[in-house]
């Protein structure tokens, strides 16, 4: 089967075009795509270069590429539209209906999506990220300033979730790894006690955790079936005992875990949308 | 002026709808919007609840809300479409043209966008995040395994950029903060020497850095005009001396900084799109 190229073209990072475009392409199973992002297409020269790359792909593959564009400026879009491909304009498709609904003309100005964050938002993001790093894996322990404290056994997804919550929502997320001592004692460590209302438990299916740990340390006790089952059983019992809300991360991406925590706890995002 | 509510409705996290929708709304200056995300609308019950919330907002504000939807399943979309609002379907608008172009029916299956990452990708993301944390701020120093090492003075954006690159691209990014000793000596520390090809300099306008540092430690030498100017001048000189590629982060979001580094270095993403 011939492979088709998909281009994501943006005057910014291209992440929006990538995300929506990828979500659309996964609806077509059994087809093979090569995905290329052309970010920062913000001048006529770069727009023409994008056209050359798209046309070359069309020629080499004998199939015209698919182009997901979030270009905002008419003059850049007009250039890229001349490329030999199916041009899908994620932006303009909705500007018309919005202009009619809001009875207002849009500015068509570039660089608004991920533009210059105002200083307060930028600082919040840096502070939240630094907080996540300083209070990762049981270190730091500044739970008084945390919005949420993720609790769970090793490799259940705590660290990436905390960091993602900092970057995406500006939320101050700490995490604490349940130790063997905690699990044996079947109690939370004393220093977490005052912050029980902020705790959020992560759990996972034993087979999945075994896979993840095996990738890290094959043939170790750490990755053994017995150890993994013991830790998860003891951890889940601890969550029940203290009535800690819990999420099973087995089927979830980091984005989903973070979003579900935000949604179920009602923690407010500290970053503007 | 009356405020209008904008809903982002998704069967997943809603981040795609938020990003594209927000990018569209910023095109309408001078209007005030209240933005609400309704994630994980994955059952008929939740779809009906979404309709109730949208209808309530319409009634309270006397203006019908705007709805950005990335719902994939027809039966859920059909419900949410009945709400009293302007329904903008970020998904369906493009499925038709894609079906014709690819000569293939789409699956209309939910949960494909941020679905279960395969184990390899999930592990890469965790490993890259752990690497960023372990090699942050001059600690760790495992530059041999880094894809890139960000260098710059304090508060120029190194840490959040490294962490974002880990989560978004699976890239192993370390960072090293230029110390006063480095700046005075006008040389790179010896342990960075073998990895000169991986270095990437971040710089920033003095006024901006002063603002950022002032938020952290007001009225300190650290945030003083003289100190900031000295550090940046010495840092920039160091970058020139060693021919280190450099980016000015003054006008950029974390996403932009990361994307520009990827784009200009040609580092390959380790995560599938």
Q: Which of A1-5, A113-117, B255-259 has the lowest mean pLDDT?
A: A113-117
Domains A4-102 and A119-265 share a fold: yes
Is B92:B57 a contact under the CB 8 Å cutoff? no
Residues 81-100 in B contacting A (C-alpha not used; CB under 8 Å)? 86, 88, 90-91, 93-95, 97-98
**Do the Cβ atoms of A86 and B98 come within 8 Å?**
yes
pLDDT, tens digit, 9 for 90 and up, residues B21-54: 988 998 898 888 999 999 999 999 999 999 999 9
| CATH 3.30.70, domain A4-102, yes or no | no
A117, closest residue in chain B (CA to CA): B253
Task: Give the sheet arrangement for strand B33-38, strand by strand.
Answer: B33-38, B4-9, B66-69, B86-89
Closest CA to B239 of B164, B150, B146: B150
Average of per-residue pLDDT values in chain A:
93
- Residue B193: is its pLDDT beyond 90? yes
**Do the Cβ atoms of A160 and B125 come within 8 Å?**
yes
Is any Cβ of chain B less than 8 angstroms from the Cβ of A144?
A: no
- Residue B118: is its pLDDT beyond 80? no
**Do the Cβ atoms of A125 and B254 come within 8 Å?**
yes
Where residue B57 falls among pLDDT bands split at 50, 70, 90? very high
A133's torsion region: left (phi>0), alpha (psi -120 to 50) or beta? Answer: alpha
In whole angstroms, what is the distance from residue A244 CA to residue A182 CA? 15
Higher confidence at residue A272 or residue B130? Answer: B130
pLDDT, tens digit, 9 for 90 and up, residues A226-238: 999 999 999 999 9
Give percent of chain A with pLDDT exceeding 70.
96
Residues 203-262 in A contacting B (C-alpha not used; CB under 8 Å)? 211-212, 215-216, 251-256, 258-260
pLDDT at B114: 43
- Residue A169: is its pLDDT beyond 60? yes
Is any Cβ of chain B less than 8 angstroms from the Cβ of A265?
A: no
pLDDT, tens digit, 9 for 90 and up, residues A46-55: 999 999 999 9
Name the residue among A86, A255, A258 with its Cβ closest to that of B97.
A86
CA distance to partner chain A, nearest, from residue B128 (Å): 9
Closest CA to B11 of B55, B71, B94, B82: B71
In whole angstroms, what is the distance from residue B69 CA to residue B91 CA? 7
Name the residue among A22, A31, A259 with its Cβ closest to that of B104.
A31
Is A146:A128 a contact under the CB 8 Å cutoff? no
Where residue A26 falls among pLDDT bands split at 50, 70, 90? confident
Is B136:A225 a contact under the CB 8 Å cutoff? no
ipTM of the complex: 0.90
Where residue B115 falls among pLDDT bands split at 50, 70, 90? very low
A73, closest residue in chain B (CA to CA): B27
First and final C-alpha spacing in chain B: 42
Name the residue among A91, A114, A129 with its Cβ closest to that of B255.
A114
A259, closest residue in chain B (CA to CA): B13
Average of per-residue pLDDT values in chain B:
93
Q: Which of A10-19, A154-163, B228-237 has the lowest mean pLDDT?
A: A10-19
In whole angstroms, what is the distance from residue B142 CA to residue A158 CA? 23
Name the residue among B133, B167, B263 with its Cβ closest to that of A164.
B167
List the domain boundaries for chain B.
4-102, 119-265
Instruction: Tell me the count of A-B CB pairs closer than 8 A.
Output: 220
Tokens 């307060």 appear where? Answer: A120
- Residue A112: is its pLDDT beyond 60? no
In whole angstroms, what is the distance from residue B9 CA to residue B3 CA? 19
- Residue A1: is its pLDDT beyond 80? no
DSSP string across B14-80: SHHHHHHHHHHHTTSTT--EEEEEE----SHHHHHHHHHHHHHHHHHHTSPPEEEE----HHHHHHH
Average pLDDT over residues B233-242: 98
Residues 111-140 in A contacting B (C-alpha not used; CB under 8 Å)? 112-117, 119, 122-123, 125-126, 129-130, 133, 136
3-state class (DSSP) for residue A180: helix
Helix residue spans in chain A (DSSP H): 15-25, 44-61, 74-80, 92-102, 119-134, 158-169, 180-185, 206-216, 225-241, 254-265
Average pLDDT over residues B189-218: 95
Q: How many residues does chain B have?
A: 273
Name the residue among B39, B116, B168 with its Cβ closest to that of A251.
B116
Is B157:A126 a contact under the CB 8 Å cutoff? yes
Closest CA to A122 of B37, B129, B255: B255
Is any Cβ of chain B less than 8 angstroms from the Cβ of A103?
A: no
Which chain B residues contact residue A157 at CB under 8 A? 126
Residues 170-209 in A contacting B (C-alpha not used; CB under 8 Å)? none
Is any Cβ of chain B less than 8 angstroms from the Cβ of A31?
A: yes
Q: Which of A1, A8, A17, A28 to mutate to test the interface with B (most CBs of B within 10 A)?
A: A28
Q: Which of A158-172, B24-38, B54-68 has the lowest mean pLDDT?
A: B24-38
Give percent of chain B with pLDDT exceeding 90.
82
Is B114:B12 a contact under the CB 8 Å cutoff? yes
Which chain B residues contact residue A66 at CB under 8 A? 98, 101
Tokens 């009906």 appear where? Answer: B48
| CATH 3.40.50, domain B119-265, yes or no | yes
């Amino acid at each position: 089967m011939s492979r088709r190229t998909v281009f994501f073209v943006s005057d910014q990072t291209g992440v929006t075009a990538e995300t929506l475009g990828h979500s659309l392409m996964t609806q077509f199973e059994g087809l093979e795509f090569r995905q290329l992002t052309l970010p920062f297409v913000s001048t006529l020269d770069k727009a023409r270069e994008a056209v050359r790359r798209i046309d070359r792909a069309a020629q080499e593959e004998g199939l015209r590429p698919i182009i997901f564009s979030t270009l905002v400026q008419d003059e850049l879009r007009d250039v890229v539209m001349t490329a030999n491909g199916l041009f899908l304009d994620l932006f303009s498709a909705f500007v018309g209906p919005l202009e009619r609904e809001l009875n207002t003309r849009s500015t068509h100005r570039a660089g608004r999506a991920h533009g210059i964050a105002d200083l307060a938002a930028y600082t919040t993001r840096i502070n939240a990220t630094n907080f996540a790093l300083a209070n990762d894996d049981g270190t730091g322990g500044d739970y008084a300033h945390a919005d949420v404290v993720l609790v769970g056994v090793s490799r259940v997804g705590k660290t990436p979730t905390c960091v993602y919550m900092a970057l995406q929502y500006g939320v101050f997320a700490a995490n604490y790894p349940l130790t063997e001592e905690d699990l044996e004692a079947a109690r939370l460590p004393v220093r977490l006690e005052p912050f029980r209302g902020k705790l959020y438990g992560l759990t996972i299916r034993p087979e999945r955790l075994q896979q993840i740990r095996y990738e890290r340390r094959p043939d170790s006790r750490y990755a053994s079936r017995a150890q993994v089952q013991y830790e998860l059983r003891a951890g889940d019992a601890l969550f029940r005992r203290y009535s800690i809300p819990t999420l099973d991360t087995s089927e979830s991406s980091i984005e989903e875990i973070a979003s579900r925590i935000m949604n179920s706890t009602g923690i407010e995002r500290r970053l503007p949308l």
